[in-house]
Chain A
C-alpha cells in the first residue's frame, strides 16, 4: 500500500533521524541500515511529524523553494514511498 497526497507520514517507530557531526550530514538509522538522505529528502523528513499530510508538506516545500508544486508533490511521494518500502516510513 503506497502513500498518497492525503497520507500522514511519520518515521517508523524503530527508525531514528538525526544530524551526524562526524559526517556532516543527516542520517536515518534502522536495524542494520544506515541511510544518508540528500538535502531534499532531509527537508521532507523534517516535515514528517505524524500530523501534516503529504499534500501539505509539498505546499510548504514548494513555497520555501519556489518550485512548481505538482513536481514537488511527485518528488515527495516517490521519496516517501521508497522509504515506506524499506519499512522506514509509516502512515
Chain B
C-alpha cells in the first residue's frame, strides 16, 4: 500500500548541503531504520518525507505518486516526535483526537475512535489527564496514539525511545514491533541505538554526511558491510581495521602483511596485485586465543571481564586491536598470547574503504 521511494533527493539550508542526493527504496509494510552519526541528516531526511521541509532536488514518491508538492497532512503520513510534542493544554483524549477534531468529525465519532486507539495503547484510564501528569512512557504512547488515529500508511519516528530509561525502552521496543504488525503500516524509524536498529528493522539505512552508506537487511549489514564506515558503525565493540599490503608468493597463495606485523592468509581467488594496499576488517568476536607458538601473537594491554564474555585489548602504535572472547578468561595484562582469526571472517576493503570481497 505504501512503498517509499527517494530518487536523488537533496536538501540544503542556505549554503550548507545536508542531504546530498539520496536514493532509498522502502517496501510497503517494511520497518526501516535510519542510523548514522549525529548530524548526518537522519532527522532532516525524515522531515523531508513528512513534508515539514521542502525538497530542493530529486523526488519523493509514495506508491509511485510524487509527494514533493503535497501538504504534510495530505500525504497519509504521521510522525512521532522525539520530544513527543504533546499539546500541553489538552487532555490525552483531546491530544489523540485533535486531527479528527480539526476535520470537524462529529464528537461521538471522535470519542469512539479515541477509545479504540487508547485501548490498543493501554491509555484508557488516562484519557482525561493532561500530558504534564503522565510518565515518559505514557506520553510516548499518547504521541503514538495521536499518530495512529489518522490511520496513516506511513509512520515516522524520530528517536522515539531516547528519553526513556533502559528497561522501559526494551518494553516499548517490543510494543512498537507488535503495533507495526497490527497496523501493517510502513515505518521509518530514526535511532542512535544499534541494538534498536538491529532488533527492530527489516531494513537498515546507514547514513553518512547526507549520503547513504548502505541500505540492507540488518544481518547483511553485519555480514557484508559495503565499506569500512558501515563495518565499524555496526557491531560492538567496533570492527578492528588493519592497514596491510598484499604479498603474492610464487606458489600462487596470497597473504596480507598488516602494518602491525600480523600476517593473514587471503582466500585463493583474491584478485589483487603484489604490493596493493588494502584494509582488513576483523570483528572482535572473530578472534580467538590459541596456544603459543602461533602465527599471530600479541601482548595484552587491557583485560575487561564481564563474566559472560571477556574483552582483551592489544595496543599497538599502528592501531589497537580488540578481541571479544566467550566466557571468563583469566589472562594477565602484559601476557603474550597467540591469536587466530575465524576462517573466512575477514572483511577486505580497498584503500578508499570500499568492500572488495566479503567473507
Whether A associates with B in a native complex is no
A-to-B contact residues, CB < 8 Å: none
